[in-house]
Chains A and B, each alone.
Chain A
């Protein structure tokens, strides 16, 4: 492997990892606070991408403002979903919320096919060009997506560590009952966490939708990746989601380039299995069943 190919593969691994992380942190945030696996997370990612598509191409709204609008809209959608569908299931068997989120997958993706049609669409990118280093190219588009992903992850981390709302979220994720006794409004915390997780999915959908192309069925693949990452990193752990995403990015990039895409998939799942055998809670997870 020459230096150019190695650098290109490594750059792809890092950018892929950061993009995966952006999808996964929303999922892990929702689990951490509410103890539910939001399987329809990828569908919100898809809705975010379509919101950007219609805002930019149909309404002519500038790209970055459209991204913000998409995130805000999906924040509201997520909050409403939590209040209407998931709040009544708090404290009940996890299978109930599993059934609801699985149902949401079909409702949102089928609804998407009806509303948006079956045609694959592309979102014009606001970026052009890139920088070359050691014989490898990093486009400004991928660089920007990576920087935004990194900034959002760090921002979320800081938000959880240093703000009152962030501390409330952490308190609820540690023990909702005790947090409630300490005066934390758990209901409010829940819908904010759900909304925030959904907004992050929307931003991921916007950024990756520009990079790739969008179709109403795109959510399932995103959920699969995010779920793999979250399981490997540890359910509810943001550092775990970041590390898990980077590992998967490295496996996908180097595995595909050196071997092939199917073997990369096999390696990815094998690493998850090995991780869970050695550390059943994932890399940074804690026990949720005790």
Chain B
């Protein structure tokens, strides 16, 4: 259970003081150790490094990722830490900014691994992940990331590398059944894809094509946009000329999704628009208003429903001043790693921790049930699969439309 470490409840009444105390344990630990207390001497720490974009265009994702780790570490520390053998470990999270570039991510990871001694690193988005992997895999450092594309750098040849965010492919096995139920299978026979003109876009298009084939949907067109594009009228005009029953746009951030939705509706497209990467509704509603109706946002739980989700949002609001669905989506990673430490009985042997991590199953997280899958697809269980909270926009308002665990094919 995520809710307990060492059988102590984690989520009840953690004050700001306790949270900050837990989060800053790494700073306090060296000073405390000089006291020479035997009890304190047995309390150790595990360094978890973040090589994440904290500035630049993808900082929104990077900051949300970091917040998930900081929050989880504080909760775990406040509950007494992680019991591994006879030792108790507290978690220390240190993050460096990758600016969303490969080179800066490589430099940040080198600093974490070589200088700080981190054996566990998390990252976010493709460029930072690729830079990080250049360091972590040769050094046998466990990495946990959100990255959809670059499947050639994922799988059994990268045994320390875990992808903790479902890509649009895994999400598809939740949102496709949902929209088929919602609109009727016969109403969704054709689709078009809109994505960015980079490797993320082409990788996502590859996943989309596999998904459409699986669900017997005829893909009628693909359009790629430049990140510098300001007006999506031309691309959307061309897309809807193909008369698709629905449009999938991925991986497009909320602002671009909003622009695509607005253009599509103004140009007369009335079908569903699925955006597996937007993970946010505020911008879409601000830009497109009621025109955003029938926008489908998988893995987007903007309005917490379970007690766990509500408590997490409350902590984020209290400690970071804001909360978004992405922060929630990334909040479980630290608990999975903590559980792997306990199961492996070590924090030093990364091979043992990786082996334990792939077996971790969490039942009650912000994204519901989580397990590592993908053995048949990637030769190793390194892809997280979890309950897909799908938000739909109706009458200008976002609401939770569906929750289901992706019905992945047998050969996944």
Contact = CB atoms under 8 A, between A and B. Distances in A.
Interface of A: 5, 8-9, 12, 15-16, 19, 110, 113, 118-125, 130, 137, 139, 208, 211-215, 217, 220-222, 224-225, 252-253, 255-258, 260-262, 264-265
Contacts of A217: 56-57
A215 B227 CA distance: 13
Interface of B: 55-57, 59-60, 63, 197, 223-231, 233-235, 237-238, 241, 253-256, 258-259, 266-268, 280, 282-289, 324
A122 B396 CA distance: 14
Given A8-B237, A137-B266, A212-B255, A222 B283 contact: no
Nearest to A4: B241
Given A16-B231, A120-B253, A121-B283, 4 more contacts: A9-B237, A119-B283, A253-B233, A256-B235
Contacts of A212: 230-231, 255, 258-259, 287
A176 to B, nearest CB: 34
B226 A12 contact: no
Contacts of A123: 286-287
Nearest to B259: A212
Nearest to A212: B259
Contacts of A16: 231, 233-234
A256 B225 CA distance: 9
B226 A262 contact: yes
Label chain B's interface by main secondary structure.
helix
Contacts of A213: 254-256, 258-259, 283, 286-287
Contacts of A19: 230-231
A141 to B, nearest CB: 8
A264 B223 CA distance: 13
Contacts of A119: 60, 280, 282-283, 324
B255 A122 contact: yes
Contact of B228 (A5, A113, A220): A220
A113 B235 contact: no
Nearest to B284: A122
A265 B229 CA distance: 10
A130 B262 CA distance: 13
A120 B278 CA distance: 11
A139 B31 CA distance: 65
A137 B289 CA distance: 18
A233 B206 CA distance: 41
Contacts of A113: 55-56, 59
Contacts of B63: 118
B241 A5 contact: yes
B230 A221 contact: yes
A252 B225 CA distance: 11
Given A120-B255, A137-B266, A137-B267, A225 B230 contact: yes
18 contacts: A5-B241, A12-B237, A15-B233, A118-B60, A119-B324, A120-B60, A121-B255, A122-B258, A123-B286, A211-B231, A213-B258, A213-B259, A213-B283, A214-B255, A215-B255, A217-B56, A256-B234, A262-B224
B13 to A, nearest CB: 29
